[in-house]
Amino acid sequence: MKQIGLLALLLVAPVMAQELPGDAQYVVFTGENGVVVLKLDIQIAGKSPRGSYESYVDGLIKLLDKNQDGVVTVDEAKGKYLTARDAQQAQLIPQSDAVPADLSPDISPADGKISRQEFLAYFKRIGLQPFLIQFQPNQNQAQLGNRQARQAAANTAEVPLFARLDTNGDGKLSAEELTGALQTLHKLDLDDDETISLAELNPINNQFAILQQQQQNGARTPSTSPFLGPGSEESLTKQIRRLIDKYDSIDPVKSGVEGAKIRNQKLSRQELGLSVAEFSRFDGDGDGQLDFDELRQFLTSPDPTVTISVNVDLTDPLSAKSEREEIQEKLKTTPDGSANINLGTTQLSVVRGASYDVGTAETFLKPQFMAADADANGYLEKSEAERAFLYGATFETLDADKNGKVFLDEIIAYFQVRFDAARSRTLLSINEQGRTLFEILDTDRDRRLSFRELQAAADKLSLWDKDGDGLLSESEVPLQYRLTIARGNLPVLGGNFLIDAGMTQAGTPAERTSGPLWFRKMDKNRDGEVSRREFLGETTTFQRLDRNHDGFIDLTEAVTATGSIE
């Protein structure tokens, strides 16, 4: 029952249920000197996000049409497609009372039959969409709210790392110092786990402990994202309001309104930082100002500042280009394949997320089922089910035929529709990585620097070297946003099998859930790679698995060798 092009690439709140123009995805970054528009040309299994979404709907219709007469009746579809309540329980859409849980797709017309257009309209109505933007603010800066905490932070992560790498003490980092980072910091690896933790960098002032204390004191993480566009969890109306709030000025040079004493609730070309041609396309009345309705058109289909092509299923470096010469000069691709846009004090790094053939829902469910089936009779009684981890589903829900027994097929059928829905989405995860060197290099946010992360340090030098002296000073390190594009996952099934990292509540590295079992067991330090020292097999086997011969078996190499994720 494997389906590759699947459902509504999810999780836009119902109020945000707007379709995207064409097949491109537009993301607007609200920078300090105006907006930067990213046009993302995304391919998943040879299709755009919208194409993947519609392929899922087509596959669903074919599956439901039992008698193959080309018509899906309400009776044929009953209980076999996602309702709003189903999507909420599976964490595919936010909890909301805005959409009735019993909403039917058979409404236009209500004739007992469900057409393709009715299914598309229905999924849009409940908030399932082809493209989703998720923003994660920098936890350190968000939670260090008071002056004492900020002062404590200033004495923790950044000072030890930068100073320790600056071996000649000149206050700057050279390419040689960054390249030799692993060797320089090796003596700090007190637990010999091939990673450098924040505590090892500065055991006296542990920033993680400070952050934990701030959490206990009730500090909250702000959710305001500097990224706008279709796919955001915010309504388009709220996004327009935030755009006006940020850029609307009483400065006559910027606003174009002479003698203005109050903000005019409109935006000029100078305020938005657009070219004459870009601005005029949306200035319908030619008054030199974009009002609310004109800004709506701008956010829906803006002219791109940068176009980035991403094939999620490949490993080639991303392609980035700009028609504006001054922007094209700021575009660079680093050896990790990411496309980087240097905006002076800010850098946007677009990367391709891991994409694997993870099989079907059975891949995750069968091991759980077999472990729960204590008497090995091929089904679960209610007592066995209650002791099992069934990803939030109740025994009564899974027992489709109400015979008091839950078979593996029933569990798979229940979760497959949710699994397929999640895997059909395109997910743009945006992480604000902060401005300190440690935060930027710690790409998986597990509060440790692995060999791979330290290796990437030297690649960043040319991106950040503003004065062109070949050296990096602390003031040149930009605020960085990491934009990861990947196929979606199902939060309640298999955990974060596409993006699993971070820390547990206890402050220890989180358990990895990606990759074959042998890979996860050998990865003792949980850095997402298996080094030669961690590998338990023969050297010749390690060399065969290490396809790029960098001394580590990464997740992609492990999955390729195994053929599937166990």
User: Could you please report the per-residue DSSP string of 44-106?
Assistant: BTTB-HHHHHHHHHHHHHHHH-TT-SS-EEHHHHTTSS--HHHHHHTTSS---SSS-TT--S-
Beta bridge partners of 504: none
The overall average pLDDT reported for the chain is: 79
Q: In what order do the strands lie in the sheet with 319-321?
A: 227-228, 25-31, 34-43, 306-311, 319-321
Query: Are 178 and 165 a contacting pair, CB within 8 Å?
Result: yes
Average pLDDT over residues 101-122: 90
Q: Which domain holds residue 549?
A: 515-566
- Residue 157 in any domain: the answer is no
Picking from 382, 407, 423, the residue at the C-terminal end of a domain is 423
Residue 504 pLDDT > 80, yes or no? no
- Residue 489 in any domain: the answer is no
- Residue 139 in any domain: the answer is no
Closest CA to 561 of 525, 526, 537: 537
* Residue 24 token pair: 């491109």
- Residue 485 in any domain: the answer is no
Provide the pLDDT confidence category of residue 51 given band limits of 50, 70 and 90: very high
Provide the pLDDT confidence category of residue 180 given band limits of 50, 70 and 90: confident
Contacts for 155 with CB less than 8 Å, ≥ 6 apart: 202, 205
- Chain segment 215-263, per-residue pLDDT in tens: 444 443 445 899 998 888 788 999 999 999 999 998 888 888 887 778 8
- Residue 520 in any domain: the answer is yes
What is the tally of structural domains in the chain?
A: 3
Least confident of 22-31, 62-71, 153-162, 448-457: 153-162
Residue 544 confidence (pLDDT): 87
Query: Are 500 and 527 a contacting pair, CB within 8 Å?
Result: no
Cα four-point dihedral sign 317, 320, 325, 329: negative
pTM of the predicted protein model = 0.75
Picking from 280, 300, 320, the residue at the C-terminal end of a domain is 300
Provide the pLDDT confidence category of residue 179 given band limits of 50, 70 and 90: confident
Of 500 and 438, the structure prediction assigns the larger pLDDT to 438
What phi and psi values does residue 485 have, to the nearest 5 degrees?
-105, 125
CATH code at position 238: 1.10.238
- Residue 405 in any domain: the answer is yes
Closest CA to 245 of 232, 220, 217, 264: 264
Query: Are 429 and 136 a contacting pair, CB within 8 Å?
Result: yes
Picking from 300, 315, 344, the residue at the C-terminal end of a domain is 300
Residue 505 confidence (pLDDT): 39
Residue 85 pLDDT > 80, yes or no? yes
- Residue 265 in any domain: the answer is yes
Q: Is 453 left (phi over 0), alpha (psi -120 to 50) or beta?
A: alpha
- C-beta neighbour count of 265 within 10 angstroms: 12
Provide the pLDDT confidence category of residue 140 given band limits of 50, 70 and 90: low
Of 505 and 423, the structure prediction assigns the larger pLDDT to 423
Site of tokens 């299923």: 313
Residue 147 confidence (pLDDT): 43
Residue 535 pLDDT > 60, yes or no? yes
The H or E element that residue 531 is part of is: strand 529-531
Residue 423 confidence (pLDDT): 85
Least confident of 20-29, 125-134, 395-404: 20-29
Residue 22 confidence (pLDDT): 52
Residue 536 pLDDT > 80, yes or no? yes
Residue 490 confidence (pLDDT): 77
Residue 20 confidence (pLDDT): 41
Around 527, how many Cα atoms within 13 Å sit in the side-chain half-sphere? Answer: 21
Of 138 and 21, the structure prediction assigns the larger pLDDT to 138
User: What is the C-alpha to C-alpha distance for residues 107 and 121, in angstroms, rounded to an integer?
Assistant: 10
Of 140 and 131, the structure prediction assigns the larger pLDDT to 131
Residue 156 confidence (pLDDT): 41
Residue 498 confidence (pLDDT): 32
Average pLDDT over residues 44-52: 89
- Residue 251 in any domain: the answer is yes
